[in-house]
């Protein structure tokens, strides 16, 4: 959130963003699968391991899961970026988690922007501001055990209508695209240059 930095200067954060050309809603029925895209990071990530131990079917895409997940859970070690929009947008739910330091300091994962822009539904650990940014397209859990409980309830009972998901997708595409971030930087540069020019103008 905006504030004043240690040097007394105003600080406006630029959140992560997405490419609406890749991540956008597409026509077609919603699937029932639960998807996770990401490497293991060399650890047993609770957002993946707990549901697997509870017997919940997952489609995992990513590497370094050998010895962590049972055989058959990893569908592929790599997904082309051009395929992610479809994978995210029509999934029953997409799982997300954050590094602990990112979560504690309020850094929201870029995956959330991509999934919601694609019209998708996300289950994520909580970071301050998530609901303000994504609305009900993201449902948060406080612990891996709560995540398992939510998955057992079924994704359809957790998320809003397809119309609301599309509305959220359109808002993310408008307000949180790379173009939107570039506009903020350009406007700030223009404002700075205008202020500098005025300060240098010798005319009374």
pLDDT digits (tens, 9 = 90+) for 43-93: 999 999 999 999 999 999 999 999 999 998 999 999 999 999 999 999 999
Classify the C-alpha dihedral 6-104-98-173 as positive or negative. Answer: negative
* pLDDT at site 8: 66
Best CA proximity match to 59, nearest among 80, 36, 43, 79? 36
For 30, 141, 157, the CA distances from 153, given in Å and listed in that order, are 17, 13, 7
At residue 139, φ and ψ (nearest 5 deg) are -105, 130
Assess whether pLDDT exceeds 90 at residue 186.
no
Which of 14-18, 39-43, 153-157, 194-198 ranks highest by mean pLDDT? 153-157
Mean pLDDT of the chain: 90
| pLDDT of residue 202 exceeding 80 | no
pLDDT for res 187: 78
Q: Provide DSSP, 43-111.
A: S--HHHHHHHHTT---EEE-S--TTTS-TT-EEES---HHHHHHHHHTSSEEEE---HHHHHTT---HH
* CA–CA gap between residue 87 and residue 84 (Å, rounded): 5
* Residue 76 backbone phi and psi in degrees, to 5: -160, 150
Write down the pLDDT at residue 84: 96
List the one residue out of 53, 83, 85 whose CA is nearest residue 70. Answer: 53
Share of the chain above pLDDT 90, in %: 70
Query: In whole angstroms, what is the distance from residue 11 CA to residue 107 CA?
Result: 15
Cα torsion 122, 124, 126, 129: sign? negative
Residue 170's pLDDT is what? 98
The pTM score is: 0.86
CA atoms within a 13 Å half-sphere pointing along the CA-CB vector of 43: 6
Give the contacts of 91 (CB within 8 A, at least 6 positions apart): 30, 31, 33, 34, 35, 59, 120, 121
């Amino acid at each position: 959130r905006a504030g004043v930095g240690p040097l007394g200067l105003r600080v406006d954060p630029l959140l992560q963003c997405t490419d609406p050309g890749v991540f956008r809603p597409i026509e077609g029925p919603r699937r029932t699968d639960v998807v996770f895209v990401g490497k293991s990071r060399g650890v047993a990530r609770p957002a993946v391991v707990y549901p697997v131990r509870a017997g919940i079917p997952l489609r995992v895409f990513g590497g370094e899961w050998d010895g962590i997940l049972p055989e058959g859970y990893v569908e592929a070690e790599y997904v082309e970026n051009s395929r992610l929009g479809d994978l995210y947008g029509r999934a029953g739910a997409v799982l997300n988690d954050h590094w602990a330091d990112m979560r504690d300091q309020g850094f929201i994962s870029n995956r959330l922007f991509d999934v919601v822009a694609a019209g998708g539904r996300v289950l994520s650990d909580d970071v301050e501001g998530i609901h303000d940014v994504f609305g009900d397209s993201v449902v948060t859990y406080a612990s891996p055990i709560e995540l398992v409980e939510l998955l057992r309830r079924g994704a359809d009972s957790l998320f809003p209508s397809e119309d609301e998901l599309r509305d959220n997708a359109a808002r993310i595409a408008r307000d949180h695209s790379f173009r939107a971030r570039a506009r903020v930087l350009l406007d700030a540069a223009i404002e700075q240059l205008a202020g500098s020019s005025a300060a240098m103008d010798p005319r009374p």
